[in-house]
């Protein structure tokens, strides 16, 4: 009979899940040598109340935030230049102060320079923490008790929505895959939740490559057994 990778122990995190499908970042830098992400343990988030330890986490370092802001500025400048050139005005758009306001506002919206995001996962939970002006807002879901999973394409990446019995939230795959271990933990929870009857959209099935796993077949088998 087909089976899924085992669920890791909530306290020790073993056995750790295998690599999840639909990973889009290729060979990401080893966290130990990635200067764009935090490595200071003082920045490591605490787990949600009553849940097991943090097994994987990601937060941009100050250098990473600067790189993100500069990338945002560069992208906005390219957009303004393209609009100006295609309108037949050369680069004259840069002589208007309104365009520089557009560049600044666009950069702030894309890079959120005054806030930081932390992503963390335990054996059976996923946490997203936003820190803005020293104020933290945290959201988390039970990865093995998901009731609804949805996904769509938006902007330059895919977005994933996860809901458990209490709450839910949506994040881009680019964010959730900044650390390979976080994605592996999340993906294994998704597989088990689907097999246990979670509602999953057609878009999510395709984006997450669920047809390449036993999860959907196990769900249908359980439903068929329940109807007999």
In terms of DSSP bridges, do strands 146-154 and 199-200 run parallel, antiparallel, or are they unpaired?
parallel
* Strand blocks (E) in 68-221: 115-121, 125-132, 135-142, 146-154, 157-164, 168-172, 199-200
Q: Judge whether 44 lies within some domain.
A: no
Q: What is the CA radius of gyration of the chain?
A: 21
Q: What CA–CA distance (Å, rounded) separates 18 from 130?
A: 28
Q: Judge whether 222 lies within some domain.
A: yes
**Count of beta carbons in the 10 Å neighbourhood of residue 61:** 17
Can you tell me which residue has the tokens 């557009």?
102
Looking at residue 147, its pLDDT comes to 96
Looking at residue 49, its pLDDT comes to 93
SS3 category, 56? strand
Q: Which residue positions in the chain have pLDDT lower than 50?
A: 1
Estimate to the nearest angstrom the gap between the alpha carbon of 119 and the chain centroid. Answer: 8
Q: Judge whether 9 lies within some domain.
A: no
Q: Judge whether 41 lies within some domain.
A: no
Looking at residue 184, its pLDDT comes to 96
Domain span at residue 192?
A: 117-227
In the chain, the number of structural domains is 1
pLDDT in tens, 51-61: 999 999 988 75
Q: Judge whether 1 lies within some domain.
A: no
Looking at residue 108, its pLDDT comes to 63
Distances (CA, A) of 178 to 23, 26, 78, 170, 181: 10, 11, 25, 15, 9
Whether residue 96 contacts residue 88, with contact meaning beta carbons closer than 8 Å, is answered with: no
Whether residue 73 contacts residue 47, with contact meaning beta carbons closer than 8 Å, is answered with: no
Q: Judge whether 219 lies within some domain.
A: yes
- pTM of the predicted model over 0.85: no
Q: Judge whether 172 lies within some domain.
A: yes
For 39, what's the count of Cα atoms within 13 Å in the CB-facing half-sphere? 9
Q: What CA–CA distance (Å, rounded) separates 223 from 228?
A: 9
Q: Judge whether 83 lies within some domain.
A: no
């Amino acid at each position: 009979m087909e089976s899924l990778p085992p669920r890791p122990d909530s306290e020790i995190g073993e056995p750790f899940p295998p690599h999840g499908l639909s990973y889009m970042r290729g060979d990401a830098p080893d966290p130990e040598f990635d200067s764009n992400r935090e490595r200071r343990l003082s920045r490591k988030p605490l787990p949600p109340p009553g849940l097991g330890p943090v097994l994987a986490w990601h937060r941009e370092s100050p250098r990473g935030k600067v790189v993100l802001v500069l990338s945002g500025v560069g992208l906005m400048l390219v957009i303004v230049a393209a609009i100006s050139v295609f309108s037949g005005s050369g680069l004259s758009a840069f002589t208007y102060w309104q365009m520089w306001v557009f560049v600044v506002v666009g950069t702030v919206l894309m890079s959120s320079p005054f806030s930081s995001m932390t992503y963390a996962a335990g054996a059976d939970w996923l946490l997203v923490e936003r820190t803005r002006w020293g104020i933290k807002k945290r959201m988390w879901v039970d990865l093995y008790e998901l009731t609804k999973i949805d996904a769509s394409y938006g902007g330059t990446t895919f977005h994933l929505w996860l809901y458990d019995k209490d709450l839910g939230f949506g994040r881009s795959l680019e964010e959730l895959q900044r650390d390979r271990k976080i994605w592996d933990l999340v993906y294994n929870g998704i597989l088990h939740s689907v097999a246990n009857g979670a509602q999953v959209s057609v878009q999510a099935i395709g984006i997450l490559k669920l047809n390449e796993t036993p999860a959907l077949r196990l769900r249908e088998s359980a439903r068929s057994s329940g109807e007999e």
